[in-house]
Amino acid sequence: MKRGTFLASLAIACCAAPGFAHAFLQRAEPGAGATLRAAPRRVALSFSEKLEPIFSGVTVTDSSGRSVETGAVVIGGHSMVAQLRPLPPGSYRVVWHAVSVDTHRTEGAYSFTVKP
Amino acid sequence: MSLFCKRATTPRVLFPTVSLIFAAVLVPAPAVAHGIIGQRFFPATISTDDPFAADELALPTITSFDHETDIDVDYSKSIVRGFAIGIGIGHVDSTALGNPPARGFGNLAIAPTLEVYRNPEHEFIVSTGVDWEVGGTGSRAVAERTSTFTPTIKFGKGFGDLPESMKYLRPLAVTGTVGYVIPTASDEPKSIEWGGAIEYSLLYLQNNVRDQGFSNVVAHLTPVVEFSLSSPTRAGEGGTTGTINPGLIWSGQYVQLAAEAVLPVNRQSGHGIGFIAQLHFYIDDIFPHSLGRPIFGGKK
């Protein structure tokens, strides 16, 4: 096989492959480092890949480490959403882990603040 | 990273006229590793090796510096989780002043990588391996007839564990590699090859420190400075030579693009400013259920 053919076949194979990949965080509400005047009612995370609900999750805790979520985290498609109880002013920590449908795992964490 | 970028004028590999299937089934991978540890994503560096054992393909890596142009291909295949073997091939075209033009394929390079320590909490990884440049497999015009073996230690460290007061340094990460080059020919000098990378992840900044409102394209950029050096082990065999390579890496879901300038650290290292560029495929993401999985051990 000539080099050009080799390269072309490889490129086609790669581009045409029904790929999956690591699920990277693409959007977060509230975002990392945000300072909010009004307490958010939920944390919503959007990912680059479809998630495996059983192996993915998110927790939101206050500065003393207590969970502030209400109910179960809803995970579907590319997103996960955690409903929050009314939050008093303070600093909060979001910790997530995501397993894409091809079993690749990613994780992350960030903080946001609710102003008095 | 490219197996061949480490040396300016030596080995490159035979360009096998093999099919994609051959490549897919046969080969393991060398020096092109991206990886994730803890909350940290490390892109594949292109001038130096990074510590991850992964399924990847760098095709091509083009280097132009000091009257030499190299085109390299590196492929890495995981055998079991945490252990991969890389193979590299490359073509050299040298027109150094004062020397006749030299052109041909370099020696085959084989580079196993074994991850020996992972600490996700501190985004820290150590790996090791013995790189083998297979003497006599390349063109006589550009490749050595004898082999070299290079026991190597590599590491990666992200700084996501820095305190809140230093949060804007958390996107920083470093990788490093140190290898002892042992030629099989007794008259050839031993040397130490060392290098590394300092990188600042905009993705980490955006997702873990403070949302900067970056677009999805910008968020996947990683400014990087790599350095690749070689030092003789004996006095009288010359001084340290190498290059410093500042550049930019863009990491997509399946591919990575990278480009760096190549700056010599001293006169003995070359003249002028060169460049290195690479197109890199994340085989583990492109083919997660087949070629991108370890041969033994199944799921990642």
CATH number of A21-114: 2.60.40.1220
Distance between first and last Cα of chain A: 69
Average pLDDT (B152-177) is 97
The residue ranges of every structural domain in chain A are 21-114
Among the partner-chain residues A13, A22, A28, the one whose CB lies closest to the CB of B211 is A28
Contact between B77 and B85 (Cβ < 8 Å):
yes
pLDDT of A88 reads 97
pLDDT of B299 reads 54
User: What is the residue type of B26?
Assistant: L
**Is A26 in Cβ contact with B284 (below 8 Å)?**
no
The nearest alpha carbon in chain A to B19 belongs to A6
Residues of A within 8 A of B284 (CB-CB) are 104
Pairwise CA distance, residues B248 & B259, whole Å? 6
Is B291 strand, coil or helix?
coil
Residue ranges of chain A with per-residue pLDDT less than 70: 1-20
Strand partners of residue A76? A79
User: What is the residue type of B9?
Assistant: T
Pairwise CA distance, residues A29 & A15, whole Å? 32
User: What is the residue type of A95?
Assistant: V
User: What is the residue type of A19?
Assistant: G
Among the partner-chain residues A26, A33, A104, the one whose CB lies closest to the CB of B300 is A104
Q: For residue A6, is it left (φ>0), alpha (ψ between -120 and 50) or beta?
A: alpha
Give me A92's structure tokens. Answer: 């909060």
User: What is the residue type of B131?
Assistant: D
Percent of chain B with pLDDT over 70: 88
> ipTM surpassing 0.90, yes or no?
no
Strand partners of residue A95? A59, A109
One CATH from 3.40.50.10440, 1.20.1740.10, 2.40.160.40, 2.40.340.10 for B20-286: 2.40.160.40
B100-124, pLDDT tens digit by residue? 899 999 999 999 999 999 999 999 9
**Is B285 in Cβ contact with A20 (below 8 Å)?**
yes
